Amino acid sequence: MKQTTYIILTIVTLIFIVVFTLQNTSEVRISLLFWDIKTSLALLIFSLFALGVLTAIFILTLIIIALKSTLRKDEKIISALQEPNDLNPDRKVETE
């Protein structure tokens, strides 16, 4: 069932992409500093979308790495607090 749903969604998405590309074939001119490029509107939109997705993945990867680092530090603190120490050798904290 799940695989069929993914196949149907993939086919619908591909049909949408083909229709979008066929309807946006006009050329646009992009000028930036000393560059002057002519490209199709569909290619420009897809390129900018891909650039946005890659930027989001990069930023989210950095956030995930930072959160994992914080989690490891917190786990070390928790395990240190649960161990018996010189002041209270009978200390043993039960975790759920």
The SS3 assignment for 37 reads strand
Which pair of structure tokens corresponds to residue 64? 């995930």
**Residues 27, 30: Cα–Cα separation, whole Å:** 10
Q: Residue 86: what pLDDT? A: 61
Strands 27-32 and 35-40: antiparallel
Question: Contact, 25 vs 41, CB < 8 A?
Answer: yes
Per-residue pLDDT of the chain (96 residues; tens, 9 = 90+): 788 998 999 999 889 888 888 888 889 998 888 888 898 888 888 888 899 999 999 999 999 999 999 999 999 988 888 776 666 666 665 655
Burial of 46 (0-12, 13-18, 19+ CB in 10 A): middle
